[in-house]
Structure 1
Amino acid sequence: MLRTLLYGAFVVLASLGSVALQATPTSSEPVTFSLPAIEPWAERTPEGERRGLLVDLVEAIRSRTDIPIRYQIRPHSRAILEMEEGHADFVPTFVAPGIPEIAEPVADLVEVQVLVLGRADDEPIESLDGLEGENVGYLSGTWYGQAFAANEAIRKVPVNNVAHGLRLLKRGRLRAVVASEVAIPAGFDPEGSGAPVRTLMRLETLEGKIFMSRSSPREDAAEAIAGAVERMHEDGTMASLFSNRYEADIARE
């Protein structure tokens, strides 16, 4: 009888141990990133190539850790949903309402300013109310701060990308374009000295971070990723990665 009870206890413990091992991820298992599909952060070319600042970021993290990483480029709302549901372990994005409820910050990436761009001969404005009733281009799904989100005086017009918005601005179909400084094409002159656009006002400063899903069990990877990002800040890699502001060409017709 005693032998039977001991054997039964051994089987139960072995089964529990097996389940625990299966439920606990190991460092050899890939972690998943979902990258928001917003130019210039991440995009897939017609040829299927993945490119963008966040693609370069993930590749840099991959080279600095021994953690296998898989990543996909998703529409912004889907990337956030995948993080909320735990299908994506990590998502690089800006601090925005709702994010802290579904994810926790792992690493600081970059701070960028949100600018309101107008034509070169336009006068600066003190607030978005100075554009009351006007068409203002923006990238749908992008967080530009509370002032833009709450403003109901302007007409918010989605554009494909900032270059598209600038073309519409030059044609007079938009009165202004809202964009982060990283997304602004080359040729932009912040002083308005002869460039086709100028800064009408500076809205807010956004904080870009890597967030980990609260449903993800990959704390081991989070620590390694945070360490890799810290080293990238220390050796100048991060500053170089996000230094190409105002560098891309204004999109061709």
Structure 2
Amino acid sequence: MLAPGLPFYPGALQARSRTALVVGSADPPYRIFAPSGATGLYYDLLNEAASRLAWPLRYEETPSARALRMMELGEADLMVGPFRSPERERFMIYTQAPLPPVAIAFYTRPFAPVIKVPADLLGLRIAVHRGKRYGPEFDGDARLSRHALNNYRTAFEMVVRGRLDVVVIPELQGDLLQQELQLELVKQPLRMAAQQAHVVLSRRSPWQNRQGDLERAFRAMREDGSWQAILQRYR
């Protein structure tokens, strides 16, 4: 039986017959995998929406590139946080469930040349997270020397050791990691325009038929203040 008040549509029973698998990398404070369960800004928002919809969720910590592949193959149902790109839209539905925009920052060793404008990145060895995107201006610039790593912790450490010159990372995440590691790094003046993060559904998942319900739950959270209350926990 469908829950009271939920519309019937083809695929609804198929979706409700299985737990929705949410995949993604651990990127505090956005996505956190803890013994008590998945938390962090993004997952707290999704958990609140899923609770209102009585959606059963299961979380799996997965490297970003592998998580995207699972979404493409239909082995996973949801991700929370990916930026939009044309190649990803081929296999993922970008919902209108609101997430806070993400500012992108750059970290270097002390006394490194100041990075104020994108042109200052030319000639630098830039650490990026494998499988992630940072916005079309940065991602599409063929002049930049990018070095893909599996996690930001390694990226920070390689910059400290002088093996790379600069890390590009979401600012909130970079500030938290810098505080945790206590490394001798400085945040540069350059910021890229805030990117819009998304809740996405695999085009091969039966849960894609519940897109409208998910978007309505997020809108209700914005209207009743619970969205803002969750956001405040991580500011």
TM-score, length basis structure 1: 0.70
* Structure 2 residue 64 is the aligned partner of structure 1 residue 73: no
Q: Distance in 1 between matches of 2:138 and 2:16?
A: 43
Q: Distance in 2 between matches of 1:203 and 1:234?
A: 29
* Structure 2 residue 176 is the aligned partner of structure 1 residue 208: no
**Could you tell me which amino acid in structure 1 is paired with residue 48 of structure 2?**
A
Contact kept, 8 Å, 1:83 with 1:89, in 2: the verdict is yes
Q: Which residue of 1 aligns with 2:168?
A: 178
Q: Distance in 1 between matches of 2:63 and 2:43?
A: 14
Instruction: Determine what percentage of the aligned residue pairs are the same residue.
Output: 23
Could you say what secondary structure the match of 2:114 adopts? coil
Distance 1:81 1:157, change over 3 A: closer
Higher relative contact order (CA 8 A, sep 6+): 2
5 Å-filtered alignment, 1:65-214, equals 65-92=53-80, 93-106=82-95, 107-121=97-111, 122-127=113-118, 129-186=119-176, 196-214=185-203
Could you say what secondary structure the match of 2:130 adopts? coil
Post-superposition CA distance 1:84-110 (Å, at most 9, x none): 233333222221231222222222322
Name whichever of 222-231 and 48-57 sits farther off: 48-57
CA shift, 1:134, in A, is 2.1
* Structure 2 residue 46 is the aligned partner of structure 1 residue 58: yes
Q: Distance in 2 between matches of 1:240 and 1:173?
A: 41
User: How many correspondences in the alignment?
Assistant: 217
Q: Distance in 2 between matches of 1:138 and 1:219?
A: 30
Q: Distance in 2 between matches of 1:162 and 1:240?
A: 28
Q: Which residue of 1 aligns with 2:7?
A: none
Q: Which residue of 2 aligns with 1:237?
A: 226
Q: Distance in 2 between matches of 1:160 and 1:196?
A: 20
Q: Distance in 1 between matches of 2:157 and 2:76?
A: 35
Name whichever of 136-145 and 58-67 sits farther off: 58-67
Q: Distance in 2 between matches of 1:162 and 1:99?
A: 22
List runs of 5+ in structure 2 lacking aligned partners.
1-9
RMSD: 3.2
Distance 1:72 1:54, change over 3 A: farther
Post-superposition CA distance 1:114-146 (Å, at most 9, x none): 12223454423311x323332222211110122
List runs of 5+ in structure 1 lacking aligned partners.
1-22, 190-194, 248-253
Contact kept, 8 Å, 2:20 with 2:58, in 1: the verdict is yes
Name whichever of 79-88 and 232-241 sits farther off: 232-241
Contact kept, 8 Å, 2:63 with 2:150, in 1: the verdict is no
Contact kept, 8 Å, 2:202 with 2:208, in 1: the verdict is no
Distance 1:215 1:162, change over 3 A: closer
Could you say what secondary structure the match of 1:208 adopts? coil
Distance 1:50 1:68, change over 3 A: closer
CA shift, 1:50, in A, is 4.2
Q: Which residue of 2 aligns with 1:11?
A: none
